Amino acid sequence: MHRAPHAETGRRLPFGSVLPLVLLAAALAVVLVTRLTGWSATPGVAAFATVFLSIVVQATPFLVLGVLLSAAIVAFVPADLAERALPRNRALAVPVAGTAGILLPGCECASVPVASGLMRKGVTPAAALTFLLAAPAVNPIVLAATWVAFPDDHRMALARLLASLGAAMVVGWLWVAFGRTSWIRLPTRASTAEGTRWLTFRHGVVHDFLHAGGYLVVGGLISAVINVVLPASWVDSLAEQAIAGVLVLALLAVVMCICSEADAFVAASFTQFSPTAQLAFMVVGPMVDLKLVAMQAGIFGRGFAARFAPVTFVCAIVASVIVGWAIL
Amino acid sequence: MTRAIQILLLAAMLGLLLRLLARGEYLYYVKPGFLPALIAAAVVLALMLLFVVKDAWSATAVEAHDGHEHDGHDHGGHDHAEPLAALLLALPLIVVLTVAPSPLGAYSATRGTGGAQTVERSFAPLPAGDPVELAVPEFVERAQSDDGSTVAGREVRLVGFVTPNPDGPWWLTRFVVSCCAADATAYRVVARGGPPLEADTWVALTGHWVRSAGAPDGIPTLQVVEYELAQPPSNPYAG
C-alpha cells in the first residue's frame, strides 16, 4: 500500500461519521414508512423536494465538469507548469490567479474541485483560493448574464467584476499574511507517481465526484429546508433600511444557493432593495453559499471552511459596499 | 469506502438522471436548454460506473487467483477516504422515489421572496385579433408598463395554475425560472369572476384587463369571460 503522507485525514470526528449515517437511516425509514402507509406528500414537502432536487440536478453537470477538469489538471498538466505560469512572489500570484478566473466559464460547483486540483499540483493555496473565489463570479458568461439582467444600468456588471475581483484578492492576501497550510486537509488519494496517468485521471474523477457530491447534497438539503420554512414577508420588511438591506440580501445569497450564472436575474427582481444590496447578493453568492461551504468543508476540511467562509463573507460585503458607494 | 458502495452511489446518481430524463421530469427542476448538459453528465457518470465495475471485477479476479480474503478495500494501491457524507448521494434518488416529482405550485407561489417586482418596459402593441394568447408574466409586465395601454380594451387568453387567495379571488399563476427552480419567481393575476377551482388546477382563462387604481402589490386583475381546464404543460415554467 502506498499511503499518502496525510492519510489520517480519512479519519473523522465521531459525530461527523455518525451524522450522515443517521441522516441516511432516517431517509430510508421515511421511504419505508411512506410506502407502507400510502402517504402522499403535503404541498410543503413537495415544494421542499422540488427545490432540493432542482439544486442537485442543476449543479450535477457543473460538478462533473469540475471534477473532470480537476482530475485532468492533476493527471496531465506538467508538474512545473504552475510554477512557471505564476509569479514566484505569493502576493503577486494572487492578482494573477484572480484575473485567471475569467478563463473558467462555469459556476461555483466546478471551481471547488478545480481549486483542490491546483493545490495538489503545487499552486500556492493563496493563489488557488483566490481563483476559487473569483472564477465563478467574473467569467464572461456570468458577466454577460449580469449585463442582460440589469438592462437599465450596465454599471452593475462592471461593479460586480470589480467587487468580486477585489474581495477575492483581499482574501488571497489575507491568506498570504495569516493563513496556515495546516488548516487545509486535502483528501487523500493516489499520487501521480504510481500507475498510468489515465488511471490517475479515472480514480481522481470518481473520488472527487463522490467527495464533493455528498457535500453538495448536504448544502442542497439545508437550503431547501430554509427556502420552504422561510416566513413569506421577512425579506420585504427589511428592504427599506440601507444597511439591513445589504445584510439581508447577503444572507439570502448564502441561503438560496443560486448558481452564479442565474443569480443576476434573481438579484434584479429585488427591486425594493438598493443597488448596493443587489450587488452584495451577486458578490456573496458565488463565494459563500451553503452548498459551497459544505463542499469546501468536504474537500479542504472543516477547520478550513470554518475560518475561510466567515472571512470571505465579510470581505465580499465590504467590497460590495465600497464599490457600490463609488460606482452605483 | 468500499468499491461496492462507490458503485451503488454512482448508480444512484445515474439512475436519478436517467429517470428524470426519460420521463421529462427534469423540466420541473431546470430549463429546457439544460438538456444537453444533463445528457453529458449522465454519459460521464455511466463511464465512471463502467470503469469502477471493471476495476472491481478485475480486483476480484486477482484475489480469487491469489486466494486472499476480500477485505472490502480497494486493491489498486489507493487510499479511499471519501467521507461518509458521500452516502448522501443516494438521497436525491430516495426523494424522487418517495415524493412524486412535481413542479413548484401554489404552496411556493405565496412564499419565499414573494411575487415578481417588475421594471417598467416599453412593449410593442399586441397583434390584431382577439383573444390574444399571452404568457402570464408578459401580461403582468404589460399591465404594469405604460399604464397598461398595450392590454387595455383587449381580450387575452392566459394559461396558468390556481393559487388560492384567502382575501379574494384566486390568482392565476405562472413561475418564471432563470436557471433552476430554486430561483423561481411567481407571476400572479387576480382572476375576478373565475370559477371556484382547487389549488394547482391548470386552467386557461379568457378575459380582459381591469384597471385597478389601488393595487399596492402590483398584481393586475383579469375579468374572466370564459375558462377551460387545461393540461399541465410539459414545461411548467415560463420565460
Do A249 and A80 form a contact (C-beta atoms < 8 A)? Answer: no
Confidence class for position B13, pLDDT limits 50, 70, 90: very high
Confidence class for position A224, pLDDT limits 50, 70, 90:
confident
Q: What is the per-residue DSSP string for A138-153?
A: HSHHHHHHHHHH-TT-
- pLDDT of A15 strictly over 70: no
Least confident of B1-10, B164-173, B208-217: B208-217
Q: Cβ separation of A44 and B107 shorter than 8 Å?
A: yes
Average pLDDT, chain A: 81
Q: Bigger pLDDT: A296 or A88?
A: A296
Chain B interface disruption, residue of A3, A55, A58, A223, most B CBs within 10 A: A58
Helix axis angle for A197-229 and B3-22, nearest 10°, is: 60
Alpha carbons within 13 angstroms on the beta-carbon side of residue A327 total: 20
Whether residue B103 and residue A50 make contact (CB cut-off 8 A), yes or no, is yes
Separation CA B105–CA B192 (nearest Å)? 20
Lowest mean pLDDT among A29-38, A47-56, A199-208, A278-287: A29-38
- pLDDT value, residue B83: 66
Determine the distance in angstroms separating the CA of B129 from the nearest CA of chain A, rounded to an integer: 31
pLDDT of residue A172: 94
> 3-state DSSP helix/strand/coil percent for chain B, to nearest 5?
40, 20, 40
- pLDDT number for residue A106: 65
What is the Cα–Cα distance from A188 to A175, expressed in whole angstroms? 23
Highest mean pLDDT among A2-16, A258-272, B203-217: B203-217
Is there a contact between A64 and B45 if contact means CB atoms under 8 Å apart? yes
Domains of chain A, residue spans: 13-327
Binned at pLDDT 50, 70 and 90, residue A19 comes out as low
**Would you state the pLDDT for residue B178?**
78
Mean pLDDT of chain B: 84
Residue in A221, A225, A218, A210 with CA at minimum distance from that of residue A293? A218
Rounded-to-integer distance, Cα A133 and Cα A144, Å? 18
How far apart, in whole angstroms, are the C-alpha atoms of residue B189 and residue B216? 13
Q: Chain A residues with CB inside 8 Å of B89's CB? A: 210, 213-214, 217
Burial A7-27 (b: 16+ CB within 10 A, else e): eebbebeeeeeebbeebbeeb
| pLDDT given for residue B135 in this prediction | 93
Q: What percent of chain A has pLDDT over 90?
A: 25
Which of A21, A194, A227 is closest, CB to CB, to B112? Answer: A227
Distance from CA of B65 to the nearest CA of A (A): 19
* The pLDDT of residue A10 is above 50: no
Cβ distance B105 to A227 less than 8 Å, yes or no, reads no
Judged against a pLDDT cut of 80, whether residue B134 lies above it is answered with: yes
Q: What percent of chain A has pLDDT over 70?
A: 84
- pLDDT for A14: 42
A253–chain B nearest CA distance, Å: 11
State yes or no: pLDDT of A9 exceeds 50. Answer: no
pTM (whole model) above 0.95: no
Name which of B109-118, B152-161, B163-172 the model is least confident about: B109-118
Please state, for a pLDDT cut of 70, what percent of chain B lies above it: 83
CA distances B168 to A128, B134, B163, B193, Å, are 55, 24, 11, 10
Searching chain A, which residue's CA lies closest to the CA of residue B101? A50
d(C-alpha B230, C-alpha B201), whole Å: 8
Neighboring chain A residues of B102 at a CB cutoff of 8 Å:
41, 46, 49-50
Whether A303 has a pLDDT exceeding 50, the answer reads yes
Predicted local confidence at residue B62, as pLDDT: 67
Question: Considering CB atoms only, which of B85, B92, B182 is closest to A227?
Answer: B182
Q: Note the pLDDT of residue A155.
A: 92
User: Å from B174 to nearest chain A CA?
Assistant: 15
* pLDDT(B25) > 50: yes
Show the cell assigned to B45. 457518470
What pLDDT does B76 receive?
Answer: 39
- How far lies A178's CA from each of A125, A146, A166, A172, A222, in Å? 12, 33, 18, 10, 31
Residue of B nearest to A34 (CA): B98
Measured CA to CA, the distance from residue A75 to residue A73 in angstroms comes to 6
Across the range B99-121, mean pLDDT stands at 75
How confident is the model over B45-92, as pLDDT tens digits?
999 999 999 988 887 766 666 544 444 444 333 444 566 778 889 889
Contacts of A136 in chain B (CB under 8 A): none
For residue B80, what is the nearest residue in chain A, using CA coordinates? A189
Q: Residue A189: its pLDDT value, please?
A: 55
* C-alpha–C-alpha distance, residues A204 and B51, integer Å: 12
Q: How many CB pairs under 8 A join A and B?
A: 249
B178 vs A152, A252, A266: nearest CB: A266
pLDDT attached to residue B74: 40
Contacts of B9 in chain A (CB under 8 A): 210, 213
Cβ distance of A54 and B180 shorter than 8 Å: yes
Task: Inspect the interface and report whether the beta carbons of A31 and B97 lie closer than 8 Å.
Answer: yes
Of the candidates A307, A253, A292, A304, the residue with the CA atom closest to the CA atom of residue A106 = A292
Name which of B99, B108, B114 is nearest A235 (Cβ-Cβ).
B114
Cα separation of the two ends of chain B: 43
Phi, psi of B50 (to 5 degrees): -55, -45
A50-54, A74-78, B16-20: which range is least confident on average?
A: A74-78
